[in-house]
Amino acid sequence: MAGGWWLGSLADRKGRKSALLFSVSVMCLGSLIIACTPGYAVIGMWAPALLLFARMLQGFSIGGEYGSSATYLSEMAASHRRGYYSSFQYVTIVLGQILALGLLMLLQKCLLSSEQLHDWGWRIGFIVGGLLAVVAMGLRGNMAETKAFVEQHAYPARHAHLRELLKYPKSVLTVVALTAGGTLSYYTFTVYMQKYLVNTTGFSKDDATTICTLALIVFMLIQPVFGLISDYVGRRTMLIAFGAGATLFTAPLLDLLGHAQTIESALFWYICALLIVSGYSSVNAIVKAELFPVHIRALGVGFPYALTVAIFGGSAEYLALWLKSLGHAEWFAYYVSACAAVSMLVALMMKEPMKVSRLDI
C-alpha cells in the first residue's frame, strides 16, 4: 500500500521510467538480502528481523510496480491497440509465477532432496530472482519516457499527492470496486489453487504443481488474445463478462476442482476458471489508466489498487483456510462470488472507458 502511494507519486512527479527503475532495484535488494541472510543459529534474532525487513522491501516494490507499469504500458500503446499492449502486464506477472513453479519442480524432482530444499535450497529461488532483477534494471535503464508524461511536464504541473487524488472520488471508487472482485478471483485461482488441490482435492504436491504450471501457461498465453478482443468489443463488455462468470461459476468450479479424480479433469476445470478471470486480468491495467488524467495517473491507478489488493487479495488464502478449518469451505466461494458481483454492478453502471478515456486528453 505504501509502495502504491510513494512510487505512484514518484512516477507522476519524476517519470514512469524513474519509478519502474526504482521499484525493481528495491525488489532486487530484498531478494538478495533473503538469499544471503544467515540462519538463526548464526546471528540469532537478527535473522528473522532481516527477513522481515527484506519482505517489507519486496512488498513496497510490488505495491508500487503495478501503477507505474500499467501507466507506462497504457501511455506507450497506440490508441487502437491499448487493450492488447497493456494485457502484457499480466503476461509478465504470470510468467514470473510459471518460472517460480518451474524452478521449484526442477529442484524438487531433479536436483535436491526434501531435506536439502528445506535446509538451504529455498535460497536458490531468491538468488535467481535477484539476478533477474539486475537484468531488468539494465533493460529499464534504457527505456524511453512516455510522450504523455514529457508533454505534461512541459507546463507547470499540479502536485501528485493524495489531496489531488481525492478530487477524483468516482474514479478511485471504481478502481477499488473493480479490483476487489478481480484480485480476489485472481488470487483464488492462482496463489491459493496449489494448496486447494493438495488439501481439498487430495493431489500430491508434485501433481498440484504440474497442474498449476500447465494452467498458468494457458492463462499467460490468452491474455493478449483477450486484450485484443477488448480493443474491438470494449473494456466494459469484458468486465461484465468476468463479473457474471465469476458470480455464477466460482462456487461450481471450486466444487468440481475439489472432486476432480484425474490430473486431466482438474486441469480442464482450472483452465475454465482462468478463462473467466482473464476477462478482468487482460483489461484491468488499461481500464484504470483510462480513468485518470496524466498528472495523477500512476498514483490514481497504483494507490487504490494496492490498498484493495492488500485487503482482499492478501487475505484470500488465509480466509479460505480458516473457513475450511471451521468446516465451511464453501463459504469462501460465496464470498468470492459476492465480491465479483460488486465488480459486475460497477461495470454495468460505468461508461465504456474507450469512449471517455482520459489517455486521449
Q: Output the tens digit of pLDDT for each of the chain's 361 residues.
A: 666 777 778 888 888 888 888 888 988 899 999 989 888 888 889 988 998 999 888 888 887 788 888 888 888 888 888 889 889 988 988 888 888 888 888 887 788 887 888 888 888 888 988 888 888 888 888 888 888 787 776 555 556 677 888 888 999 999 999 999 999 999 999 888 988 999 888 898 888 988 998 999 999 999 999 999 999 999 999 999 999 999 999 999 999 999 999 999 999 999 999 999 999 999 998 999 899 988 888 888 888 888 898 888 888 888 988 988 888 888 999 999 999 999 999 999 999 888 888 887 6
- Predicted confidence at residue 181, as pLDDT, reads 93
In a domain, 95, yes or no: yes
Q: Which amino acid, one-letter code, is at 351?
A: K
- Predicted confidence at residue 331, as pLDDT, reads 92
Domain that holds residue 315: 2-137+168-350
State the CATH number of the domain containing residue 326. Answer: 1.20.1250.20
In a domain, 293, yes or no: yes
- Predicted confidence at residue 361, as pLDDT, reads 62
In a domain, 201, yes or no: yes
In a domain, 152, yes or no: no
189-194, long-range: CB < 8 A, 24+ apart: 189/270, 189/273, 189/274, 189/277, 190/94, 190/97, 190/216, 190/219, 190/274, 190/277, 191/313, 191/316, 191/317, 192/316, 192/317, 192/320, 193/257, 193/270
Number of separate domains in the chain: 1
In a domain, 154, yes or no: no
**Run of H or E including 337:** helix 330-349
For the chain, the 3-state helix, strand and coil shares in percent, each to the nearest 5, are: 85, 0, 15
Q: Is residue 98 a contact partner of residue 220, using CB atoms and an 8 Å limit?
A: yes
In a domain, 342, yes or no: yes
**Nearest one of 126, 172, 165, 121 to 27, comparing CA atoms:** 126
In a domain, 148, yes or no: no
- Return d(Cα 250, Cα 339) in angstroms, integer: 11
The set of residues, in sequence order, having a beta carbon less than 8 Å from that of 322 and lying 6+ positions away, is none
Output the CA angle 161-301-218, nearest 5 degrees. 155
User: What pTM value is reported for the model?
Assistant: 0.86
- Predicted confidence at residue 306, as pLDDT, reads 87
In a domain, 155, yes or no: no
Q: Is residue 18 a contact partner of residue 9, using CB atoms and an 8 Å limit?
A: no
